[in-house]
Homo-oligomer: A and B are copies of this chain.
Amino acid sequence: MYVMDKTKKEKTARMEFDLAASREIVLNKLKQLGGRIVEQLKLNELPEIKLPARSTSNIVYDADLRQYVLGPKLVTRTARNIKHLRPLSQLLWMALFSKQLVERKKTSTLRDAFYNAIGFGIDFEDQNESDNIVTELESLLGVIREDFNIYPEERSSVFGPLVVQYNVPGYEGSRLDLTTIPDGAMIGPAMATAKFIKCEAKQVFVVEKGAVYQRFLEEGVSKTFKAIIVHTAGQAPRATRRFIRRLNNELKLPVYIFTDADPWGVHIANVLIYGSALAAHVKELTTPDAYWAGLWATDISKYKLPAMRLNDEDTRRIAELEKDPRYSTDPWKREISYFRKIQRKAELEALSRYSLEYIVTNYLPEKLEEIKKS
């Protein structure tokens, strides 16, 4: 979670990630939640909670934040209504579980939370139901689940001229120079909550594919381009999306995103920049200033790449994206319509047809130049 850096508040209002302050804020919110319930019970009232509505009719575009957010509509969960008793109890148990995680400085996963609930005697039909309650808790508290220590299993990784300082138990204050790990460092809970201490990078390259990440590392891209390189491993886990946002926000580094030239790759870039519809109830996961730097549909023609025919699923997905307001401007609109025109898709690795290094020696500098011009 971002908190105002108090010493600099007046001067620049620079936002800094501060784990201790974040923990305090989350704990206070959880205590307030519990406090309200206890007060209601003391007054002999049946407890109730008001939650932001997550229905599609309550999702609006926020021009300042440049992402979709929830509107002002609220829903009430009240113990007066017998149908509400179950989700209300589930939500309160999840708040209890989360409070214990934060207090004990332990992390957990959605699945662990589900099984722990079962052991406690909380009735969940399946993990979907429990995952949904975690999402409700996020929207109620206005923080992401990583802030109350529920992390995804998937891990991305990062490499580049950046020194971080860890905050997790047993590692308080210990530092890592990311250039000392030749395979790159994982973005787990420790990396996600580390402070940025020293940065010699001028930009960030985010890549979808492991092969391209490895190519960038081997070709010394972090040195020649003074770049931090992030591997999302497909659709970026939320901890990674926030990490990329932090690189952009705190270090003021421009971010360039490289994905496959297919409707799925396009959407990986789009979600990093504008956020997913599923996460409209939380902020701080998007990087609205990032650039989608390819592989574009138009690159398939420009670079004469080996390309595959779109299948039915691709075509359906393209039709969906054409209706999505996040795709109403260029390069999104232009590229989506070009996919439809050429009926082809290509992977980033298709650039290897010229040589393994071509993506670094030719494609990367040409594309950066093109984006800077426009």
Contact = CB atoms under 8 A, between A and B. Distances in A.
Interface string A165-177: 0101111001010
A182 B168 CA distance: 8
Interface residues of A, number: 52
Contacts of A171: 182
Nearest to A353: B119
A183 B174 contact: no
A353 B118 contact: yes
A153 B183 contact: no
A114 B356 CA distance: 11
A168 B182 CA distance: 8
B214 A189 contact: yes
A166 B182 contact: yes
B191 A350 contact: no
A252 interface: no
Q: How many copies does the complex hold?
A: 2
A153 B118 contact: no
A355 B157 contact: no
Interface string A322-361: 0000000000000000000000000101111111100000
A5 interface: no
A185 interface: yes
Contacts of A111: 211, 347, 349
A220 interface: yes
Contacts of A186: 157, 181, 183-186
Interface string A300-313: 00000010000000
A99 to B, nearest CB: 14
A109 B157 contact: no
A208 to B, nearest CB: 11
B107 A218 contact: yes
Contacts of A187: 183
Interface in A175-220: 176, 180-191, 209-211, 214-215, 218, 220
A188 B166 contact: no
Contacts of A157: 155, 186
Interface of A: 106-109, 111-112, 114-116, 118-119, 151, 153-155, 157, 166, 168-171, 174, 176, 180-191, 209-211, 214-215, 218, 220, 306, 347, 349-356
5 contacts: A107-B214, A112-B356, A154-B210, A170-B182, A183-B190
